[in-house]
Structure 1
C-alpha cells in the first residue's frame, strides 16, 4: 500500500507538471517565470537531498582514503622508529665494545714483556661443579695447553684443552684450579695457593696460610710466579675475610676476584712471556707443610713446585 501511495503521488506530480507546462505554452512566454518557480519549488527538496547524499559520499570516500594514508604513514613511521632503535642498540654495543678494546689495547701496550692472543668468550660450561669457558682461538693461533689467560683487571685462568679454532679455559673459580699466589703488601708477602671455593662459587680462597700469617682484609693477592705457568704479579683478588681452620694450625683468606667473571667477554692468552720465572728449591717447606698435603702451584694436572 505504501508503494502504491508513492506511485500515486509521483503520478499526480507528473500530471500537474505536464498541465502547467501545457498551460504555459498556451498562454505564451509570460508564464515561464511562474512555471520555473513552481518547478524549482517542487524539485528543490529532491535536489537538496541528492546534493547532501553526494557530498556525504564524497566525504566518506575522502575520509576513507585519508585513513588508509594515515595507516600507511603510521606503518612507515613505526618501521623507521624500529630501525632507529636497532641502530641505537648497535651503536651502544659498538661503543661498549670499543671502550673494552681500548682498555685491552692500553694494557697490551703497557705489558711489552708478554705476547698476547686476543680472544672472545663464545661459550660457558653449564656444569654446576666446574668453571670453564670456551674462547674462539686455538692451536691455529698458537694457543696451547697450560697458557695463562688474563684481562687488564687480572688473572682469569689457564688453557686446559686446545683445538684448532677453540680452546677451553679453566677459571680460577674452579675448585680443581690451583694458583700460586702471595700477599702483595711489602711488609707481608705471605704466600699460599688460590683455589676455587665449592661452597661459594664467586669467592675463591687463599689457602695453606699459617695461623700467624700477616694477612688482613683489604690486602691484594697476586700471582707468585712459582710453578712455571702464571707470570708473577698478576692480580688475583682482594682479601675479604680471614678464617681460621677449625682444630688446625692453618687459616685461609676469602677473596673477591679482580676479574668480574659474570661480564667476561674478551680475554688475552699469554702465549709467550719474557719475564724470568722464579724458582724455589723443592726441599724448602714451611713447618705447616709437614702436617698437610701440598698442592701444586699451577693448573690442574700440570707440574709445579710446592708453595711455602
Structure 2
C-alpha cells in the first residue's frame, strides 16, 4: 500500500483534489455558495468558448469580405456613379434656376425699351488682372450674334461696351474706362454732358460726367441716363446718380462725379444689346 502513495498516479490524484478544493474554497469565500465540479469545469471552459466564438465571427466576416469583394466593389462603383449623376443634376438645376432668375430681371428692359434686341444672359467668366477700370470677359461671343461695340447692360443700367469678340467669348470695357464716352442727360434738369471713366475715380467704382454747362442745375442724387446722341448706346438707359459737381480747371464748364447704378466691380451676369434703333447711324460715325 505504501508503494501506491509513492506512485505518479497518486500524486496526480492529490493535485486534482487540491485544485478542486481550492476552487471550492474560493467560491465559498466570495459569495458563500459552493459550486459543483460541473460548475468548476464551466468556469474554466466558458472563457475559451467565448474566445472561440469571437474568433469564429471575426474569421467569418473576413472570409465574407474576401469572397464577395468583387461584388462589393461593383456596388460601390455603382453608388459613386449615381452620386456623381445626382451632383451633376443638381448643378444643372442651379444653372437653369440662375438663368431663369436673370431672365426675369431683364424682362423690364424689354418692357421699357421695345426697340432693343438682347442676347441671352451672359456670365462673367474672368476679370482682367490689375485693370483699374474693371474690364472682364463674358461667356458669349459671335456665335450669339454679339458684335464689336455692342452695349452691355443689366437690369440696373449700363455696364459698358464689347471691345473684343471671339466665337464663344467677348471682352467688356466698362463705364469706368476713359476709352468709353457716353452721351448723357439728366431728365430732371435737361443738363447734358459726356460720361467717361477717369483713373482718379475708377478705384472707387465711379466715373465722371464732363462738359456740363457751368450754370447747370444738377445736384446730389440727380439721375443720369443715356441721351442716345452718339448712336453707340440706346436712349434712356440708366447710368448712375450724381454725387457732387464742381467747375473744371478752365472754369468754362463743370463736371460731376457719377456713381453707376451697376456695381461694376462685382457684376456677375449681364446682357448684350445686339441691335437698337439708331445703332447703325452711331456705328457709321
- TM category (shorter chain) comes to 0.5 to 0.7
Mapped to 2, the partners of 1:92 and 1:83 lie a distance apart of 14
Which of 133, 153, 167 in structure 2 is aligned with 1:150? 153
Match of 1:108 in 2: 110
Deviations 1:8-45 (A, max 9, x none): 8996248978xxxxxxxxxxxxxxxxxxxxxx834532
Match of 2:181 in 1: 178
Q: Is the 8 A contact 1:129 1:175 kept in 2?
A: no
Residue 192 of structure 2 corresponds to residue 208 of structure 1: no
Match of 1:99 in 2: 101
2:244 alignment partner, SS class:
strand
Distance 1:63 1:208, change over 3 A: farther
Q: Is the 8 A contact 1:227 1:303 kept in 2?
A: no
Superposition pairs for residues 276-295 of structure 1, below 5 Å?
276=278
Distance 1:64 1:112, change over 3 A: farther
Match of 2:12 in 1: 12
Deviation at 1:106, TM superposition (A): 4.6
Deviation at 1:120, TM superposition (A): 3.0
Superposition pairs for residues 239-254 of structure 1, below 5 Å?
239-245=242-248, 248-254=251-257
Question: What is the TM-score of this pair, normalised by structure 1?
Answer: 0.63
Deviation at 1:160, TM superposition (A): 1.8
Deviation at 1:165, TM superposition (A): 2.9
Listed as ranges, the gaps of 5+ residues in structure 2 are 1-7, 18-34, 62-75
Distance 1:164 1:81, change over 3 A: closer
Distance 1:42 1:138, change over 3 A: closer
Distance 1:194 1:57, change over 3 A: farther
Distance 1:102 1:9, change over 3 A: farther
Cα root mean square deviation, aligned: 4.1
Match of 1:52 in 2: 47
Q: Which is worse superposed, 136-145 or 166-175?
A: 136-145
Match of 1:265 in 2: 268
Mapped to 2, the partners of 1:87 and 1:13 lie a distance apart of 80
Q: Is the 8 A contact 2:134 2:264 kept in 1?
A: no
Q: Is the 8 A contact 1:121 1:135 kept in 2?
A: yes
Q: Is the 8 A contact 2:211 2:253 kept in 1?
A: yes
Match of 1:137 in 2: 140
Deviations 1:193-218 (A, max 9, x none): 11113123201111222332110011
Deviation at 1:87, TM superposition (A): 7.6
